[in-house]
């Protein structure tokens, strides 16, 4: 029987950890799974544990030299010859330092995203979610921005190579989805769409509207850089309008989306001021477009998200509620149905320095409006128009 949506997860994936003080913490996937289970929204029958990827899979995107260096840096105490090369491959930085077992554990993450693509393209399920993936900054020969291997790019190359699919990649992370964009910059069969905080102030510095692809790929790379302190309405307006036009023009066979949730006001690494509302709305828009244009074929990955207690579990939980069409979603507006499970709050509150919100959505009415709201909205509208310059 064809499943409607599957959830790909294995505890092994939480071992992707640079060091104890690093902001990238896959514990957030475990906490999300626990939230969904306690909410009665993640039956065991939906859950799949994926096999690891192989080196051949990695070679779809990464260079032999880079893979060898990651492997060389994976022992507890790597040999000097590899340590000396770490800098050349971006693996000696504070952001993306090499760590024990990094090759193997990242193969697990890549494996989850490949499994998702296979399950959807073979028609075993309509949708698949793999929150351990979404390492969108890694480049063919370079680790960057907390990302060792680019599972999203490998999964897209696999979908193209094995199934001949035209793939639309949608990146909602607050940081530009640069690694995936550059991997397919001249490829007309892979469209990348990224909404993010403008690179003027934020890593990785790219993602301007005029990065549109090169050669035969021109016009298939779409960037929507938002102003710092952008709020829900403006973000959703720009996302929905540009994405709808992109999908209508590109007509994908498969959508792969990256659900970084670091555009939330609580996130410590960026300056966008959105609430949980965008994490309810964006998956809804993607879901609808997937059914409208590609028979529902939709793979959703994780991504950034550094308030791992107050933001990530709710944001990713909402994405799964949308993908699985859970009835909870319909009741989020009503006070009695919008509460998070009390036993989940009890389990995790002791781990969080901040008080955990007790509802799925935020009480935005009590938030202070951003001082330059009108100015920010006007600038974003200009950006939106420019990003659609070559869209029909």
Q: Which positions touch Zn ion (CB under 5 A)?
A: 173, 175, 260, 262, 304
Nearest-CB residue for Zn ion: 304
Residue 203: helix, strand or coil by DSSP?
coil
For the chain, counts of helices (H) and of strands (E): 12, 8
CB of 78 to Zn ion, least distance (A): 28
The angle formed by the CA atoms of residues 259, 361 and 12, to the nearest 5 degrees, is: 40
**Rounded CA separation 206/30 (Å):** 31
Closer by beta carbon to Zn ion, 160 or else 175: 175
**Rounded CA separation 270/263 (Å):** 7
Burial class (CB in 10 A: 0-12, 13-18, 19+), 22: middle
Closer by beta carbon to Zn ion, 51 or else 330: 330
Closer by beta carbon to Zn ion, 74 or else 275: 275
CB of 97 to Zn ion, least distance (A): 18
Which pair of tokens denotes residue 318?
């909402």
CB of 334 to Zn ion, least distance (A): 23
The angle formed by the CA atoms of residues 11, 16 and 19, to the nearest 5 degrees, is: 125
Q: Which residues in the chain belong to E strands, given as ranges?
A: 3-8, 47-48, 125-130, 167-171, 190-197, 221-226, 254-258, 298-301
Closer by beta carbon to Zn ion, 82 or else 235: 235
Closer by beta carbon to Zn ion, 2 or else 80: 2
Run of H or E residues at 197? strand 190-197
CB of 100 to Zn ion, least distance (A): 24
CB of 250 to Zn ion, least distance (A): 20
**Rounded CA separation 258/256 (Å):** 7
Which pair of tokens denotes residue 229?
């302190």
Closer by beta carbon to Zn ion, 52 or else 260: 260
CB of 276 to Zn ion, least distance (A): 17
């Amino acid at each position: 029987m064809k499943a409607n949506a599957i959830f790909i997860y294995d505890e092994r994936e939480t071992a992707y950890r640079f060091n104890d003080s690093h902001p990238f913490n896959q514990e957030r996937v475990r906490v999300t799974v626990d939230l969904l289970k306690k909410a009665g929204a993640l039956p065991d029958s939906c859950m799949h544990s994926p096999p690891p990827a192989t080196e051949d899979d990695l070679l779809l995107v990464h260079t032999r030299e880079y893979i060898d260096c990651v492997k060389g840096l994976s022992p507890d105490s790597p040999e000097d010859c590899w340590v000396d090369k770490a800098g050349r491959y971006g693996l000696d930085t504070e952001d993306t330092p090499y760590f024990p077992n990094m090759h193997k554990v990242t193969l697990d993450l890549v494996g989850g995203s490949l499994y998702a693509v296979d399950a959807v393209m073979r028609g075993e399920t309509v949708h698949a979610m793999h929150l351990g993936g979404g390492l969108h900054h890694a480049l063919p020969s370079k680790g960057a921005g907390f990302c060792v291997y680019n599972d999203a790019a490998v999964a897209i190359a696999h979908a193209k190579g094995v199934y001949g699919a035209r793939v639309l990649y949608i990146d909602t992370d607050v940081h530009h989805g640069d690694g995936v964009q550059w991997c397919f910059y001249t490829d007309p069969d892979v469209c990348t769409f990224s909404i993010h905080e403008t690179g003027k102030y934020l890593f990785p510095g790219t993602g301007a509207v005029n990065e549109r692809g090169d050669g035969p790929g021109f016009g298939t790379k779409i960037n929507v850089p938002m102003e710092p302190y952008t709020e829900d309405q403006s973000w959703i307006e720009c996302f929905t309008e540009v994405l709808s036009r992109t999908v209508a023009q590109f007509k994908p066979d498969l959508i792969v989306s990256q659900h970084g949730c670091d555009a939330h006001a609580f996130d410590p690494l960026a300056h966008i001021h959105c609430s949980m509302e965008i994490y309810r709305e964006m998956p809804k828009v993607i879901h609808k477009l997937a059914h409208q244009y590609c028979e529902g074929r939709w793979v959703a990955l994780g991504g950034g998200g550094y308030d791992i207690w107050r933001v990530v579990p709710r944001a990713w939980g909402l994405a799964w509620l949308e993908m699985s069409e859970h009835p909870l979603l319909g009741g989020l507006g009503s006070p009695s149905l919008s509460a998070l499970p009390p036993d989940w709050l009890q389990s995790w509150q002791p781990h969080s320095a901040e008080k955990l919100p007790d509802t799925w959505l935020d009480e935005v009415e009590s938030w202070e409006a951003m001082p330059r709201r009108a100015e920010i909205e006007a600038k974003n509208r200009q950006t939106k128009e420019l990003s659609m310059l070559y869209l029909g």
